[in-house]
Amino acid sequence: METKKSRAIFPFVVFFFVLATGFLNSFAGDVKIGRIFLPTMTSLKGVPMPVEINFENDEAFPVTELSVTFQVRNALQELLFNVTYNNLTVPAKSTLKCSTYPTTWTPPAIGMYKLSITSFSAVDINPLNNGAELEFRVLEKPNVWVEQLNLFKPFPMMNSANFMLGVDVPASEEVLWLNVLARKPLSTVRHWIVQNMPLLPFHSDRKIYYPWYMPSLGYVPGEDVSKIDLSLSLSSKTKMEPFLTYAYDTYTVTDFDYKVGFDITEKINAGTVPAKAEVPGHNQNDTLYYNYRGCDVPNIDLDSSKYQPTDLYAGDWNACGPAAAANSLEWLEAQHPGKLFNIYGHRDKMTVLGKFMNRENEKGVTTDQLAKGKLGFIDLTDLPIHVKYQSWFNNDSVIKSPVANTGHVANNMSDSIGKPKPPTWEFLKSEIDKGEDVEILFGWYDNGTVRHGGHWVTVTGVVETDTLKGIFIKDDGNQAAAGGTRESFLIWKPQGAWSRLVGYDGPNNFCWIESVVSESYDSTITHSTPTAIEDIQFDKTSGKINFRLNKNPVALSEDVTLNINLAEKTRIYVNVFDYMGRLTDSQDLGQLDQGGHLYKIPAARFKTAGQYLVVIYTPYERISKKILIY
């Protein structure tokens, strides 16, 4: 009887327990792990940080007497951080931020780490969602430095509020985004100075600069800044807003004399460019495109204290146009070995380009001059290169070569022939994508939209996400002395038809893109009989004379042998011009009989390696050939 009685009571006990548990749970909350703020998916070695998370409770009742434990272990499962908190309360239908700060931990080495979070409360209805784990990487902290610019042109200001952040970027196979917060030492006011600077995959280390204008921290133009606090972040995604940080390091600020001539005169009416500049927005990139050439693109070092105007060269001051073009041609030649052979070195290219640009001493060059300089160099050296452009300042369909009658032109790729229109991001991006080398002209405009000169740079890469456009450029930031070359990243901000380079802004000026010029290898480009560089008349021959060079190219130490064939007896003159159009040798061979003749030009007549033009004259005709001396 007792056994049967106890069996009858057991279902009632179970039913009562379930009923009581359900009754209690109906008055309990449900705590779960929400967002993990710190550590981030990519943290930095040597940078201290707390663990910081959100607890969430969507129920109508609070979770009380909550305990939580945070543990961080390395890849060897060694415990590096272990903190527990008790008696926490997560209110009903709310979140609770839980941070270990001021208790922090410091990643001692690069590698993979794991954060483990466990929590418990007796009044939590679902203990299965009380924990979480996060695997994250620790990377090397980038080596950075800060420069305050002394501006000389076009808006002079010593100790300006324009700064540059330099970054040592190591070789890598992945895309990372650098963001930097800055503040005055010991201040609580911070500024997001570096906003989503891409560190792109590349085969070698390089240094890249990021310019920014910084009045928001309280620095005023003219104030000599000696120290600044920075906090760095690396991530695999772009950031939408300033990142969370508790760690700043103090950096010494050095000076940089930004001495660029900006003496590029192009005519444009005030009010043409936008009067106000829009601030770029950011989002986490869903799409990513980039094409980066980096330090494969050379960057000639301008030094006007050493390279001053001569009869052959207009000097390094304001030589940004010839320099940018020479940088591009030097890179393009390396991309097509054996197809774009010419004997000129980097600086010689710049000298010859400047001649064809008809550049005045220590003056800049316009878009027309830059394109003509390239076309002239191409015609001089018989290079199969096609030149294209978009420019506000030239809306003709073509720009013609300065070498007459070649038929070679630079093609205007704008969709607005006959009507001024600024260059587009789409054109720049397509040219880079097709392997073209590209130069950009930007102009400085004050807040009254009046132009104050411009500057040519060489493009070394582009990057684009769903909300961000940016370019890498190379130039020389100090044309007055050696050592001013650098590569920089700037945000390209479209605004209506115009586009602006963010970072070159100032207290009363903005930087607007005016011209894009590109060139590429094109096997369909051919060259006819060449002319002398000083633009003497073209060859005129009845076919009664011809000659060939027994060898071409020829070593500098060798004589040059000409094989001359005459259809009839005539008087022969031989002139030799160097690549600058200077006469280096002139001989009167007298009356020569019909038939073949050999004539040697002594090696001593060729003072340096380079391109020369050999011209044979008779009283009635002439014929010329180019020769390379190496």
Could you read off the pLDDT of 242-255 as tens digits, one per residue?
999 999 999 999 99
ω into 154 cis (within 30 of 0): yes
CA separation for the pair 391, 419 (Å, rounded) = 10
CA separation for the pair 243, 467 (Å, rounded) = 18
| Token pair for 490 | 């700037």
In CATH terms, 26-139 corresponds, of 1.10.3720.10, 2.60.40.10, 3.20.20.220, 3.30.460.10, to 2.60.40.10
Burial class (CB in 10 A: 0-12, 13-18, 19+), 401: buried
Confidence of residue 607 (pLDDT cuts 50, 70, 90): confident
Beta strand extents in 401-436 (DSSP E only): 409-412
**Cα 288–292–297 angle (5° rounding)?**
170
Contact 190, 242 (CB under 8 A): yes
Confidence of residue 459 (pLDDT cuts 50, 70, 90): very high
pLDDT value for 539:
42
Model confidence pLDDT, tens digit, residues 281-322: 777 666 899 999 988 999 999 999 999 998 889 999 999 999
CA separation for the pair 25, 428 (Å, rounded) = 63
**Closest to 565 measured CA to CA, from 549, 548, 552:** 548
pLDDT at 534 over 50: no
Burial class (CB in 10 A: 0-12, 13-18, 19+), 237: middle
pLDDT value for 436:
92
Distances (CA, A) of 281 to 80, 241, 286, 467, 594: 38, 9, 15, 7, 78
| Token pair for 473 | 């450029």
Q: Percent of the chain, pLDDT > 70?
A: 91
Q: In which residue are the tokens 């002319």 written?
A: 531
CA separation for the pair 260, 301 (Å, rounded) = 13
**Closest to 350 measured CA to CA, from 334, 367, 366, 370:** 370
Question: Architecture of domain 288-521 in CATH?
Answer: Alpha-Beta Complex (3.90)
| Mean pLDDT computed over 515-543 | 63
Distances (CA, A) of 36 to 44, 90, 131, 442: 17, 16, 12, 43
pLDDT value for 402:
85
More confident residue, 366 or 278: 366
More confident residue, 471 or 338: 471
Burial class (CB in 10 A: 0-12, 13-18, 19+), 431: buried
More confident residue, 81 or 579: 81
More confident residue, 621 or 237: 237
CA separation for the pair 582, 576 (Å, rounded) = 8
Verdict on whether the full-model pTM lies above 0.85:
no
Most confident range (mean pLDDT) of 42-56, 342-356, 399-413 is: 42-56
- Homologous superfamily of domain range 545-629: Macroglobulin (MG2) domain (2.60.40.1930)
Contact 606, 560 (CB under 8 A): yes
Considering the domain 144-258 in this protein, what is its CATH number?
2.60.40
**Closest to 484 measured CA to CA, from 321, 341, 299:** 299
Cα 458 versus chain centre, distance: 9
Model confidence pLDDT, tens digit, residues 3-24: 444 444 444 444 333 344 444 4
Q: Residue 177 — φ and ψ, nearest 5°?
A: -120, 125
Cα separation of the two ends of the chain = 120
CA separation for the pair 437, 455 (Å, rounded) = 17
What's the whole-number average pLDDT of the chain? 88
Our CA dihedral for 263, 266, 272, 276, rounded to 10 degrees, sits at -20
Helix, strand, coil tally for the chain in percent (to 5): 15, 45, 45
- Domain pair 288-521 / 545-629, same fold: no
**Closest to 627 measured CA to CA, from 607, 606, 613:** 613
| Token pair for 512 | 């607007």
pLDDT value for 538:
38
Listing DSSP states for 339-390 in one string gives: TS-----HHHHHHHHHHHTTPPTT----HHHHHHHHHHHHHHHT--EEEEEE
Number of other CB atoms surrounding residue 127 within 10 Å: 13
What secondary structure letter does DSSP report for 4?
H
Model confidence pLDDT, tens digit, residues 95-104: 999 999 999 9
The domain spans of the chain are 26-139, 144-258, 288-521, 545-629
**Closest to 462 measured CA to CA, from 239, 320, 297, 278:** 297
Contact 456, 324 (CB under 8 A): yes
DSSP 3-state of 530: coil
